[in-house]
Structure 1
Amino acid sequence: MHLLAVEVWHWRGLEHHALADLSPHLNLVLGPNESGKSRLFEAIRYALFEPSKGAAQNKKDLQGWSATEPPRVRVTFETDAGPYTVTKQFLKSPATLLEGGGETLRQEEAEARLRQLLALPEPAGRSGAGQLESLGSWPLLWLSQGDSRKPPQEHLSGSGRGRLQDALALEVGEAATGEEGRRIHARARAEAEKYWTATWKETGELRRAREAAAAADAVLEEARERREALHRTAADLAAARERLAGLEPRLARARAELRSAEEREAAAREARRQLDLQEARTRAEEQQLRHLREQSGRRGALAEEQERLLARQAEAHAGRTTLEGRLEQQRTALREADQALKESETAERESETRLRLARLAARRRGLESSRAELAERLARARTLQAEATRLRGLVAAESIDTVALKGINRAEAEMQAAHARLLGAAARVEVRALRTFSVDGESLAAGTEQSWTLTEPRVFRLGELAELRVEPGGDSLEALRQSRRDAEQALRSLLDSHGAESPEQARIRHEERERNEREAARAFDRLGLAAPDGVEALEESVQAAGAELSRMEGLPGDLPGEAEAEQGARAARTALETARARRDAARESYANARLESETLGERVEGLARESDRLARQLDELPGAQALETALAAAEQAWQESLALRQGYREAWESLGGEQVALELDRVRQALQRLEEERTGAAREAERLDAVLRSREGEALHEAVQEAEAEAARAGAELERVERRAQAVRLLVEVLEAALQEIQARFTAPIMARIRPYLRRLFPGSELALGEDLALQGLRTGNTAEPFGMLSGGAQEQLAILVRIGLAELLAGDGRLPVILDDALINTDPARLQAMQAVLYQAARGLQVIVFTCQEADFDTLGAERVIRLPPRPRGR
């Protein structure tokens, strides 16, 4: 079976598209994005596999944007029984029509015959037609956009897998994987499931038997443990009583040792108290000795410092006397420099006054000349301003500016376009009389012709024979006439709003407005040259010049020239700067001398204060002789106190020192431990005695014998179930090994078909097919590459190769269509060339239809039929 032609109407935005004269070999359908490639692919699938009846959401989504016509598709295909054409209409008046093989069938009969021609299984329920199980092996052959990277098994249903198995069985002559073989394997598996999981872990009867045996063993172990526990309790009671008897003499010895340790600790504590008192006295003697030594050292240091300070005071007094004479000289020089500076400042002010008056006289002469020039410019500027204002008023009075004219031109163009569209949609009716007859009552002789151009519906009466009704353009003509009327009204409204009779008059007025605007701009340019800052600023300049000339009246007549006055002013400024520099130097010298005098005075006063402080500190200390006597007495007292402290320490250490308290703690803790041990042993003996008395009536030995009998029975049952489970497992493993061997022989025809294609794209690699022909990935040497770990391009290439191989197997001696909708979008240019060679080779036995938007990438495909789809207008 292969496709011959496809045609769709009103299909999800496609008003009408067709694929005609499809080649039975290699076809290439080209079109930009949104041109309808995927919609055509979808329409083929709906035509062959989807019943026309029903209003599910997927069918509602087929409705065209206009929502006026129902979606419709027609597909013509070739089968062994000849060509057939199926036509389906969805949603509104759904219908199915099948024509071919000498019969014409409709609705359910057509759907049933179509499923028979396509070898489709019966749909499972009312909505089963769109389900994978109802499509048989066809999903393997057609790849929609976005599914190119999915492995074939995702599109393989049970019915499709059955068709593949039947095709393989016919080719290899093997029936062991037929229904009987699968039934035997299924029965063995069902029996095994009573004992094992799918991964051979224990379950069901085997696990229950093992759990029962384990439970019986646990009961036996518990009974034995209870009997042994009773024996251990009796032994423990005897040991506890023996331990109590042995603790009494040990407690007596520990109490005697505690009394002896307490007496030693009391004596040592008294000796330590005497030692602590003597250590406090020794520290006091040592502190007194240290204090006297510090006073003696401080008195010597203060005496030395006082001698050095007296020498520095004498030196400072001598320097201060010399500095006071130099300070008086600097004061006199500063007064002389101040007087000279005042005289220079007076002379400089007088020279600046003469220079200013000389400059005013020169400026008065310049102002008189420029005032006349400004007055002339002002008169010329006023004339230009009046002209520019007049022209600007004319421009403002005209309402048709560039924006308004563009609107009028656009409205005129829209009116003309609407009129052109109306004329283009008009109907031309031509009548040629074969014999004499009348049209609308007028006779038309035989052999003559008459024609009419109609933009309105009209009825022609053809004699007494008939009436001919002509409706130009259908429903759209009235819309075109209304569009023209709307465009004329819009143009008239624009012209009226501007007071224009016609677009031509509006253009003339716009040209006059632009001419006035240009003249006004030139006038304003000339005005800018005459008065750059404006006429008002020029008027203010003329008035300012007159006012300044008025202020300059009354200047003296004996003023020097400007150059002479400038030279005198420069000389006065130079003399002033020299006097100011001399005054600043004298002031700085006087300030330095004064600062030095003040610093030296502060130093003299500081030395005097330091001398007084040292004298007071020496007066506060004892005399040198008294300090020496006190030091000797303190030294002797400290040595005597050290000897006493050593005696007390030796007495304390002879009694044990720090170890006495530790020894007492040790003896007390040992006694406490023995007493606690005796208490615990007594309690344990009481507890064990109570346990023995409470269990005197239990038949523990008989319970052990009963548990042993039950454990033996459960063990025998487990052994029986284990033997059966192992036998079933062995049977399943043998059957599955045989099935795997047969499966390998079954996959050989598929591998043989795919291997030539695989070598083109994946040289050195072999295909890995799993159970039920599932694509697992590639094997290269000893390396396995799972399908999911391959790159996106490799996944889509490998999936297409496997689908081609399966299509060739299913086709047998016939031909089947393989359709790829943009299925190579992840493939690089080098691999794309190899894939084109594969498709060309596969097209010798299959019909291959490739939809793509990348025309340049498929220049070397070698397609027998190339169809280009026009781009779909935006908004449709």
Structure 2
Amino acid sequence: MRIHRIRLQDFRGVADREIHFALDGVTIVEGPNEAGKTSVAEAIDLVLGVPDSSAAQRVKAVRPVGRDVGPRVEIELSTGPYHLVLAKRWLQQRETTLRITAPRLEQLVGREAHERVEEILAETLDADLWTALRLQQGRELAQASFDTPSLARALDLASGGSSAGAREDDLLVRIHAERELYWTAGGKPRVDRVERAAAVAAAGDRVALLEQRLAEVDAQTERVGTLGRQLVDLEQQRTACRAEHEVADEAWRGAEAAQRDVERAEQVHRAASARRTLAADALARRDELVDDLAAAATELEKLIAERERTAPGLEAAAARADRAAADAAALEAELSRARGGLESARADVAALRALDELVEWRGRHERIVAAESAMAEARSVLAAHPVTEDAVEAIEQAHLRLAAAEARLQVAGARITAVVHAPVDLRVDGTSEAVFVGDERSWIVSDRRTIDVDDRVSFVVEPGDGARDLARGVDHARDELVDLCRLAGVASHAEARAQLDQRRQAQLALDAARRELDRDLGDLTPALVARRIDELEAAASAASDLDRIGAPGTSSAARAALDDAERAVRRLEASRDEHLAEERAHRAALEEARLEDRVLDARIDQARDAAARLGERLEAARAAAPDDELRAALAQATAATDDAAAEERRLAAALAALEPDGLRLRLDNARSALDRVEATISAAEDERTRLVAALEVHGDQGLASELDAARTAFEHLRREHERHEARAEAARLLADTFDARRTEARQRYVEPFRLQIERLGRIVFGADVQIELDDELRIARRVLGGTALDFDQLSVGAREQLGLLSRLACASIVSADGGAPVIFDDVLGYTDPERLRTMGTAIAAASSGCQVIILTCTPGRYAHVGDARVVSLS
């Protein structure tokens, strides 16, 4: 079983909290005292085991103090093939809902949902294991009995054995068969017993339901009267709320009218301000135009004087640029002649280098050709031997299985041996056998055989089921081997192995040739290598003028001539660049002077045009509106704006005196109060109508007689169930008595459990720790450092640590079958800091594959548990 999440509502001191758990690994739920961590463990017990109809003290104890509400718990879990969500509320508004999403969708409520959960847990969960793996605050935590069916099955499998089989005698088989009529292998009641118990519970629920329905009729009658009195009071409230709403609405309409007056005054003020702004802008533009005309005349006079100062410098710059251009042209001609000599020297060096490179590339090409030939030969071998490593491995495994099957048949199969003492006519399965006096013949009986002797006696030998199974195993193994050889294209496993060896050698040769080819090719192809050789041969054959360099020092003489030519070109280029730079500088200075002259001419023309345009604009503007007329218009607009502002302030003050915000709030509140009262009246009327209809439909007619019949049926079912349960208990008692005699045989699978505890114990106590278990799989002694102590002689902290380790070991062993969660509530309180560190490591190591839930009010106590999900309740 795995718990996915749990939600607590109105549960003792918890108002509403949901906790999600890691399905594999450790979840640490931490919080201060009374934060609700211990309530998590109680909630799990209640939701899984207590029906919503229970009024037991343990249920009443979790009701929240000071509130008349029912505690509610919702849990999501998976157990066996089932995935479900179960929710229950007790005491008030009792309910049970169950939703199962796997292996198929189911939705149940009430008692049926509770019983379905009990049935699922009985089928999938070992109750003893579930109890053993849980430690609640304030209970004994040192030792637990792990003699549970789940752990027994897991340990039996871990030791390679089985708890049932041919070794049991016939009496024990019959005893267990009788017990299994009533109990599952996990010690849970069979479905028919669960169904019978469910029928008894359902009959009891039916009695309780009818009793509840009688009580509900009385309660509905009482509620109808209460609602009538409430409606009278509510109608009076609605009348008062309507009057208040009418007064507030009238006051608000007055405030809205005052607001509209203020808005109209604001519009008048804005229009007057706009007219004043237009008058001020017109006067400012007239003053700006007069100032611009005076500034333009001054700028024209300054530019004419500047032109007269710059004219002589332009002519001197043109003469300097012409002289620098003539010097640069002479150097360029000399540089061209030097570059011709440089190109000739480079051609000589390239021709000699091509000859050297040609030799190297020819050798490289020969190695490439040899590698390609070797690769082609290896690929040919691989194509001729297509058998693979996996195919040969499968064939050899099938061959081994055939040999093993034949060996088992030879050892376990029945054998017939015939010794010939006198001449006889012997036929086996209708086929004559040639035998002589003194011969000895043997046959393995794997199938029905008929042996005829002198046509006088016929022996029919029938093999047992075990021999037939062994013979079929031999046939199956032989067919499997033949099929695998046929698929691989070989006749036998020896031929497959020989072909695989040849294939491996060819693969090695192919890999070596491919590495040689990759080393010589690099990022080229054989075609590119051949093309490069052709290019080098053409370059070498084109070097027909090499004799002029001289031999045998041809390469050195060509290199020296190239160096001299390069130095001469670099010297002339540097000189040429200096003169070109000088020419560019003079040309740039000349162009800058010419540009400045053209810019100055353009600026003079622009200044003349600007002054003329400004004079024309000023004359036209004064003709349209004289300066005095603009100043008079500005004064008139200013006076109108001041009057509009005063009127706006007066109306705004009148609006503020009405306090419109308060009037709006009063209107909204009156409307809300009226709506609330009307909604309350509607709800009360609907409820009264519904209750009256229900009373008219149901009433209390026939409930008493129906209740009597239900009680009679319940008593009958209860007595029948008790008789059946007595027979079930007798069958279990008889089986348990016989099982007790098998304790010694069961000791063989205790070893895996002990080793698992020791594995975790070495993390905590050291490498030399040893554990001894008693008959109930409890820890009897601990051996550490050569000292053996009984469990009761250990310190409280050591006993506590071993108790936790044994539970973790049990959980990790049974996790393959799902097992159950390990729940620890405020443990390790007697453990020192160093042991807390090692215990954290042990908890983390044991939690792989199982679910561990730790509840604690001391968060630092489990800080050393690696990779744990932490849920804080603070």
Is the shorter-chain TM-score for this pair beyond 0.5, marking a shared fold?
Answer: no
User: Scaled by the length of structure 1, what TM-score is found?
Assistant: 0.38
User: Scaled by the length of structure 2, what TM-score is found?
Assistant: 0.38
